[in-house]
Amino acid sequence: MSAFDALILAGGRGQRLAGKDKGWIMWDGLPLIEHVLARLHLQDKKPERILISANRNLDAYKQTGYLVVSDERPDFPGPLAGIEAGLLRCKRNRLLVVPCDTPLIPTDLHERLDQAMNDQPNAKAAYATTSDGPEPLCCLLDPLIGASLSHFLSRGHGSVISWLEDIKAVAVEFSDPDAFRNFNTPEIFDSKRST
């Protein structure tokens, strides 16, 4: 099983939540960032390093004890810029990327994405998909694709899935769409489901 680093994406504007920083919204007794950190520690093996991509409330994120990275590009260009910032600091290990608003990610996320990449030695990335569609922000990346991502971003702000398709990432089917549910609307915080 390959060593890996993990990147939690917490650098967005929180537009669906009236501009709130999603990582610090409380659900089931803890802020979302703490739920995601707990799920990372339940993976098949623990990440060697955890990085948090954030563009505001940096001191609060630093209080978690993990390395905080900010976008290299101005004006919140989207999650790919956060991934780019993570890859710039990830030179050796594969990088597992997860959003901060997905507190129920599967505990076998790394194991299954890693296996898919090992099964296809030319693959530079793998991402989750479910019956509800692709989950491109739950992905595992080869550290050497940072230059490809920087080039893609410099051509314009494309979507995450279009970049993953560009680099021929492997889609890995997961059976439980609810595990990838994004907590990004006020209504969903009424739910108390936790696993």
Question: Using 50, 70 and 90 to split pLDDT, how confident is the model at 22?
Answer: confident
**Residue 23 annotated as part of some ligand binding site:** no
Of 59-63, 74-78, 122-126, give the lowest mean pLDDT range: 74-78
Across residues 83-97, what is the average pLDDT?
Answer: 94
Domains and CATH numbers, the chain: 4-188 (3.90.550.10)
Across residues 45-70, what is the average pLDDT?
Answer: 94
pLDDT at 17: 46
Say whether pTM exceeds 0.75: yes
Q: What does the block give as tokens for 92?
A: 């050796």
Distances from the Cα of 83 to the Cαs of 26, 80, 88, 131, in angstroms? 24, 5, 9, 25
On the question of pLDDT at 16 being above 60, the answer is no
**Residue 10 annotated as part of some ligand binding site:** yes
Q: What span, in angstroms and rounded, lies between the C-alpha atoms of 102 and 46?
A: 18
Q: Burial of 187 by CB count in 10 Å (0-12 exposed, 13-18 middle, 19+ buried)?
A: exposed
Q: Of residues 164 and 183, which shows the higher confidence score?
A: 164
**Number of neighbours of residue 13 by Cβ within 10 angstroms:** 14
Across residues 38-61, what is the average pLDDT?
Answer: 94
Q: Give tens-digit pLDDT for 136-179.
A: 999 999 999 999 999 999 888 679 999 999 999 999 999 999 99
**Residue 71 annotated as part of some ligand binding site:** yes
Q: Give tens-digit pLDDT for 109-132.
A: 999 999 999 999 899 999 999 999
**Residue 113 annotated as part of some ligand binding site:** no
Q: What span, in angstroms and rounded, lies between the C-alpha atoms of 15 and 21?
A: 9
pLDDT at 69: 95
Question: Using 50, 70 and 90 to split pLDDT, how confident is the model at 72?
Answer: confident
Q: What does the block give as tokens for 57?
A: 């409330």
Mean model confidence pLDDT for the chain? 88
**Residue 22 annotated as part of some ligand binding site:** yes
**Residue 21 annotated as part of some ligand binding site:** no
In 3D, which of 159, 31, 58, 50 has the Cα closest to residue 98? 50
Q: What span, in angstroms and rounded, lies between the C-alpha atoms of 26 and 84?
A: 28
Question: Using 50, 70 and 90 to split pLDDT, how confident is the model at 195?
Answer: very low
